[in-house]
Amino acid sequence: MTKSHFDAIRADVENELKRVFDARCDIPQKLLESMKYSVFAGGKRLRPILVVAAAEAVGGNRKAALPTAAALEMIHTYTLIHDDLPAMDNDDMRRGMPTNHKKFGEATAILAGDGLLTLAFEVMAEQPAGGDVSPSVLLRVIRTVAKAVGAEGTVGGQEVDMEYEGKQGDLKILEYIHAHKTGTMITAAVVSGGLLGGAGDDDIRALGEYGHKVGHAFQVFDDILDVVGDAKEMGKNVGGDSKKQKTTYPALMGLEESKKFGHRLVEEAIGALSSIKGETRYLKELAEYVAKRTN
């Protein structure tokens, strides 16, 4: 992985996130702290990096992609805060730190999530500074992201995940949950980046296919990590999924088969990029990273 390139994107995303919060001076103190606590908790920034890398792969400029990149990270963070709540996964630790509701209380955690989700849409509806994006493209990005993270996407995936907690689901249920909880948001990140970068229909289709495969691979390796990962590196309790009797890939198809399946998805993701004429090297490296990450 070309570290310095991704570090540079990550630095731009951090600055964009700081800018977003600096521009909001009417958020009550405790709520602001709670929102920032989870946003700046050391996430990998995979989704915003995918937005930027996709925009640049189709020849677009980074500045046009940064607000939506930051928005995707805020949305990802809100899903983590709400998923950790006592009524949901009831997790005390996240990235080696107390979860939001453990630190700020349940009411503030719910509201911090609501606030981040809403702020994300406000930011996506702004014309990016230094990037000239047509208003209809911004609207399409908003629709794409909203559909991907709402009741037909991430929120729906979490609902079905909750309904099957403690029950033994089959592969079809597992795929549904993963495709909706994780896949749709990753695909939306890549497609949004493409749209903001000015991609045509063919490239958007290719990016959608890439995003779909990467999202799927991400979840397969996430399940694998939960079995074999090191608790310290993960920053949360390893084996949590099997303790809660969640359906996982290793549980359903075995560890070795899961690894093979994940690697095949990464190969297919990379294959989907072949029709794109721009510089797709970084998107390829991101797909490979998903298979190599240790936390």
Contacts of 118 (CB under 8 A, 6+ apart): none
Q: How many residues of this chain bind its own copies (CB under 8 A)? A: 53
Work out how close the CB of 163 gets to its own copies at its nearest, in angstroms, rounded to a whole number. 7
Distance (Å, whole) CA 7 – CA 213? 24
- In the complex, least distance from residue 35 CB atom to its own copies, rounded to whole angstroms: 7
Is 92 a binding residue for its own copies by CB under 8 A? The answer is: no
Where does this chain touch its own copies (CB under 8 A) — which range of 100-108, 197-205, 206-214, 220-228? 100-108
Q: Which is nearer to its own copies, 212 or 259 (CB)?
A: 212
d(CA 265, CA 286): 13
Residue 176 CB, nearest distance to its own copies (Å)?
9
Tell me how far apart the alpha carbons of residues 145 and 153 are, in angstroms, rounded to a whole number: 10
Q: For the segment 171-210, give every residue that binds its own copies (CB under 8 A).
A: none
**DSSP bridge partners of 94:** 97
Give whichever of 31 and 255 is closer to its own copies, judged by the CB atom: 31
- Give yes or no for residue 32 binding its own copies (CB under 8 A): yes
Binds its own copies (CB under 8 A): choice among 14, 27, 102, 235: 27
d(CA 264, CA 48): 24
Interface pattern 151-170 for its own copies (x via CB under 8 A): xx--xx-xxx-xx-------
The site string for its own copies over 61-80 (x = CB under 8 A, - otherwise) reads -----------------x--
Q: What is the b/e burial string over 196-228, where b = at least 16 CB atoms within 10 angstroms of the residue's CB?
A: bbbbeeebbebbbbbbbbbbbbbbbbbbbbbbe
User: Which class for 26: exposed (0-12), middle (13-18), buried (19 or more C-beta within 10 A)?
Assistant: exposed
Stretch that binds its own copies, among 2-10, 41-49, 50-58, 119-127 (CB under 8 A): 119-127
Which residues ranging from 120 to 149 are in contact with its own copies (CB under 8 A)? 121-122, 125-127, 134-136, 138-140, 142-143, 146-147, 149
Q: Does 294 bind its own copies (CB under 8 A)?
A: no
Q: What contacts 24+ positions apart, CB below 8 Å, involve 257-263? A: 258/220, 258/223, 258/224, 259/224, 261/220, 262/217, 262/220, 262/221, 262/224, 262/291, 263/217, 263/291
As measured in angstroms, the least distance from the Cβ of 118 to its own copies is 4
Residue 135, number of CB atoms within 10 A of its CB: 9
Distances (CA, A) of 200 to 13, 54, 168, 206: 25, 13, 43, 10
Q: Residues interacting with its own copies, by CB under 8 A?
A: 24, 26-28, 30-32, 35, 78, 82, 85, 87-88, 105-108, 110-119, 121-122, 125-127, 134-136, 138-140, 142-143, 146-147, 149-152, 155-156, 158-160, 162-163
